[in-house]
Amino acid sequence: MRIKTEAILADLDCSMASKRKQGILKRKLAPEAPGGMGPGDRAVSRGSKQSSSKTAGRQDVEEDSDDDQSSSENEAVEDASASADSDEEEEEEEVEEGAESDGSSDGEAGSDSGSEDGDSDTNEATQSGVQSDGRLQTEEDIKRELSTMSFEDIMALQSKVGRKMYNEVAYGAKSKAAHERKKRLNKNRPTEISAKRPAPFLRQVVHVKKSVLRDPRFDDLSGEYKPEIFEQTYGFIQDLKRKEMQVVQKRLRSVKSAKKKEQLELLLKRMVNQEKAHERQKMKREKELEMKRTHREMVGEGQRPFYLNKGDQRRLELAAKYGDLKRSGKLDNFLSKKRKRNAAKDRRKLPFQLKPQ
């Protein structure tokens, strides 16, 4: 008898486990179950989780019974009545199922029990108030089966499933009130959660923060680009650039190979041009600021501000430029170059016959 029980348990263990993996048990509702257990059986009053999972298990067992019963009965040699055997198996499977939801800390079993609970809960939501008769029937059946089992089998069952669960099944489960989320009195108290749900297999023990990458060019947090503020805060970059220029000049003096010299010269030219462009931009901004300041003063004094048009502005700039060149003595150079350039341009625009061949 004991061999048979253990064999059955072991067999069902594997079959249940494999079937669970495929998720078959969850989806099937099997209204054509032989024992006349309809979908009502699945959805039990939310009362005890164990009973709900048990009946779910029983339902599923009905489905399996076709495949499993035949094989397991072939194993057994006793000629007990078929119904007694099947009932016993089913009852053990049920409790076994409940056990697997309670007693094992296996990852998949745990997740399955969690999903089963969720499933039965959702079912309960959809189908309500059909099943109290069905449940009573199952409990009586269980008690009948337990009374016929031998003591050794009962002990084995108890050690497998746990004394507490066995007592609940054998002597009637205490229907707990609907398992609502416990409210804590104030936020300084610890959270209270159920102690019967195993941790899922894929779980984060230590949460690692994912670092967020930001591009300051496109990020609103960086704000708008303001050149004056940029100059102020990042002015040190210009100093660094000047220092690097000096370093390159020094290297240029000491370098021997012609190729390297060429490279360095180009680099130096690039750096110098960049600095000049930077300076030019700076001058431009300053001039604009000056204009704005004068305008403000004029407005302040009461006169009407006058605005130069583009042509006048350009002429003013040109005049300033000539002034600078004169001061530095490069005016002749500049003017001759300009004359040559203009001549070349004009020569291009001469009519075809007059062009020199």
108 touches another protein (CB under 8 A): no
Is residue 26 close enough to count as binding another protein by CB under 8 A? Answer: no
190 sits near another protein (criterion: CB under 8 A): yes
193 binds another protein (CB under 8 A): yes
**Number of residues in contact with another protein, rule: CB under 8 A?**
29
In whole angstroms, what separates CA 18 from the centre of its chain? 31
Please, which residue, 68 or 94, has the CB nearer to another protein? 94
CB under 8 A: which stretch of 139-147, 161-169, 239-247, 248-256 binds another protein? 161-169
Smallest separation (angstroms) from another protein to the CB of 11: 21
Q: Does 345 bind another protein (CB under 8 A)?
A: no
Residue nearer to another protein on the CB measure, 159 or 333: 159
350 class by beta-carbon count within 10 Å (0-12 exposed, 13-18 middle, 19+ buried): exposed
State the DSSP code for 183: P
The binder of another protein chosen from 203, 210, 253, 348 (CB under 8 A): 203
Rounded Cα distance, 197 and 101, in Å:
8
Binding piece for another protein, criterion CB under 8 A, among 99-107, 267-275, 296-304, 343-351: 99-107
Contacts of 131 by beta carbon, 8 Å cutoff, 6+ apart: 40, 41, 43, 44, 45
Burial of 112 (0-12, 13-18, 19+ CB in 10 A): buried
Measured in degrees and rounded to the nearest 5, phi and psi for residue 176 equal -75, 160
* Signed CA dihedral, 338, 344, 349, 354: sign only: positive
Closest approach of another protein to the CB of residue 238, in Å:
37
Which residues are near another protein by CB under 8 A? 102-106, 110, 158-159, 162-165, 182, 188-199, 203-206
